[in-house]
Amino acid sequence: MSNRVAIAGVGMAKFGELWDKNLRDLSLEAGMYAIFDAGVPGSDIDGMVIGNMSAGRFTGQEHLGALAVDQGGLGDIPAYSVEAACASGGAAIRQAYMAIKSGEHDVMLVLGAEKMSDVNQTEAMNTISVASDWEWEGMFGATFPALYAFMARRHMHEYGTTEEHLALPTVKNHANAVHNEFAQFQRAVPIEVVMNSGLLADPLRVLHSSPITDGAAGLVMCREDIVKKYTDTPVYIESSEQRSDTLALHDRKSITTMNAVVTSTKNALKDANLELKDIDVLELHDSFSIGEIILTEDVGIVEKGKGGKALEEGITEIGGKFPVNTSGGLKARGHPVGATGVAQIVELVLQLRGDADKRQVDGAEKGLAVNIGGTGATSIVHIIGR
């Protein structure tokens, strides 16, 4: 049996506040685009996985696997629904990856989807907060902005990270999203605007945070030995790793390091027989700007405490040594929580195929995505290559 799993096609529905579309519309759109891109007959798809965090609370709808298969007209194939908070999309990809490698399935459709804007802001924040330790964090009012603010303030205390550093991921990612037709915010934001936006949870401001977003993304994945039946431009998953950490932030040895990210990244690189210097483009989970700074350190781009300096020096810009979040990231592309992990891989596939237009990284051959759940309690890392 072939050792690798291939990605034959990708698709996305544009991210944003999509008042005229519901969850099934978004899932169907992303899935159909992925199937058309792959050139795969629907009859060849023998399984489906959908990643979603909390459709039951956001929309009142559960049983999403059956819903997606029904709407897509895919017959009676097995359909699985996966939840891992904001890492639900990455978990869906990993489940399909393992199912194909095991020989259980040959061709699978993978979706990530979330419809978040049909509830008010308070309800949305409460729903997202259940991805933290609700009994010891959320119940006491520690929202995700507050938890990431703790991380940011400690990082500033320990390493001298500044408010200017916190603004730089937003500036960079908005500049990248200008050229992403699927992004929620296709406009640049000056650093002064970021630094003067309203306080969310000191020191984090509104423009340090990803938005409430509706959206879906899809992949068609299959065995390596059959992918050439469908496409001349396949991309391959070279490794898939997942690790966990404490759910509550206060139980960790350090709140400025996501140990699950450190371990899953090291294991993914080892499994792919690669070093970080071999990676050409990265998608790192930036639900808050401090998240990108910490992940830049935890994957090994720079040593601990130097994430802000890496942004200052342009290391993570398109054209830099390690381009990060060429899509615009969660901040500017948007963060429909269940769809994010799949959207990260869609971006990397476009980069590796040379289809990323004005945000293209020259000669990109290897990509790495880190999709995290909560404050890093779940970390899922995928490495893909041409």
Say if residue 93 is exposed, middle or buried (CB neighbours under 10 Å; 0-12, 13-18, 19+).
buried
Residue 33 vs residues 94, 243, 352, 378: alpha-carbon distances, Å: 21, 31, 18, 29
Q: Chain centroid to CA 300: how far?
A: 18
Q: Which two tokens stand for residue 381?
A: 């890392």
Q: Which residues contact 251 (CB under 8 A, 6 or more apart)?
A: none
63, 86, 208, 382: the active-site residue = 86
Q: Chain centroid to CA 40: how far?
A: 25
Cα–Cα distance for residue pair 47/219, rounded to 1 Å: 12
* CA-based torsion, 16, 56, 12, 88: positive or negative: positive
Q: Of 370, 237, 193, give the one whose Cα is nearest residue 299.
A: 370
Neighbours of 314 (CB within 10 A): 13
208, 285, 335, 382: the active-site residue = 335
3-class DSSP string for 111-129: EEEECCCCCCHHHHHHHHH
Say if residue 247 is exposed, middle or buried (CB neighbours under 10 Å; 0-12, 13-18, 19+).
buried
What is the rounded end-to-end Cα distance, in angstroms, of the chain? 20
Q: Is 208 a catalytic site residue?
A: no
Q: Is 86 a catalytic site residue?
A: yes
Cα–Cα distance for residue pair 169/135, rounded to 1 Å: 32
**Catalytic positions, written as ranges:** 86, 335
